[in-house]
Amino acid sequence: MPVTPPDVNPPAISEADPGVLSSWLTSRRIWTTNQPSTTEWTDPAVEERPAEWQDIAKVNDIVLDDSGQVVGYIADIGGFLGIGAKKVLLGVDAIHLITIGNDTFFATNYTKAELEALPDFDQKTVRQ
């Protein structure tokens, strides 16, 4: 007898309205606007990344709570090709996903120095 597939309630995604894989998200770079962190975030209406913005980090992983909600991102700050980078935990409001043309990345008002001043991410605080 043929098996009837169950209704797993898949999300409504399509080529025109695609979903996002965590592997795609965790490869995104983080750019600072070089504004003070006290500056309120407003989505930039720009057609290209401003010259004063600086590439400062990369999203390394995503942190979920027990209910499956995204609560933060682990970012690699500094280093070279991942060597010597400092891992820090950022809340979901600390970085913002931006798309300019075909380029998608995170942006933040936190400076590189501010992010480097954060405590090292403690691996014991998450399930692995």
- Give 21-66 pLDDT, tens digit per residue: 999 999 899 999 988 888 888 888 888 899 999 999 999 999 999 9
Checking if the pLDDT of 81 tops 70, the result is: no
Q: How many H helices and E strands in the chain?
A: 2, 6
Please state, in angstroms and rounded to a whole number, the distance separating the CA atoms of residues 62 and 73. 5
Q: What is the pTM of this model?
A: 0.84
